[in-house]
């Protein structure tokens, strides 16, 4: 099972890196390691980066360690990096901010199927 986690990690790392428009070398420079090391994290099973490296990579890519490790977001399968960033930002809002945000979306797009109870 650990090998599958590493494969998922590598895939997600590459997705986030490409979404940010960064090269292997640019990530390596920011993290303080070699381009080959980042490539190995993306492409080889069984890689075990330290917590410090994970933190540096996540910071460089503008995501959380949980995002890199593939912590599920509800029932969404394989969310895009933009989806993850959106949900993390939303999760950090106050209840009042969330309510205003949902109301604004209703004004822009109308009610969606299964959107839950009406809010004022």
Residue 117: both structure tokens together: 């109870």
User: Is 73 in a helix, a strand, or coil?
Assistant: strand
Positions of CATH 1.10.260.40 in the chain: 2-71
Higher pLDDT, 4 or 100: 100
Task: List the structure tokens of 71.
Answer: 């912590």
pLDDT of res. 4: 39
* Joined tokens for residue 24: 């292997």
Residue 66 CB coordination number (10 Å) = 13
Q: What rounded mean pLDDT belongs to the chain?
A: 81
Q: Determine the pLDDT at residue 115.
A: 46
- Report the number of secondary-structure helices (H) and strands (E) in the chain: 7, 0
Write out pLDDT tens, residues 46-102.
888 999 999 999 999 988 888 888 766 666 677 777 887 787 788 778 889 889 988
Q: Which CATH number fits domain 2-71: 1.10.10.10, 1.10.1660.10, 3.80.10.10, 1.10.260.40?
A: 1.10.260.40
């Amino acid at each position: 099972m650990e090998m599958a986690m590493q494969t998922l990690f590598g895939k997600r790392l590459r997705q986030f890196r490409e979404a940010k428009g960064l090269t292997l070398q640019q990530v390596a420079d920011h993290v303080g390691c070699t381009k080959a090391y980042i490539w190995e994290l993306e492409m080889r099973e069984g890689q075990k980066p330290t917590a410090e490296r994970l933190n540096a990579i996540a910071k460089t890519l503008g995501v959380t360690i949980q995002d890199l490790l593939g912590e599920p977001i509800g029932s969404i399968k394989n969310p895009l990096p933009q989806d993850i960033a959106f949900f993390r930002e939303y999760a950090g809002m106050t209840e009042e901010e969330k309510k205003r945000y949902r109301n604004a979306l209703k004004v822009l797009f109308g009610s969606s199927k299964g959107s839950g109870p009406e809010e004022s």
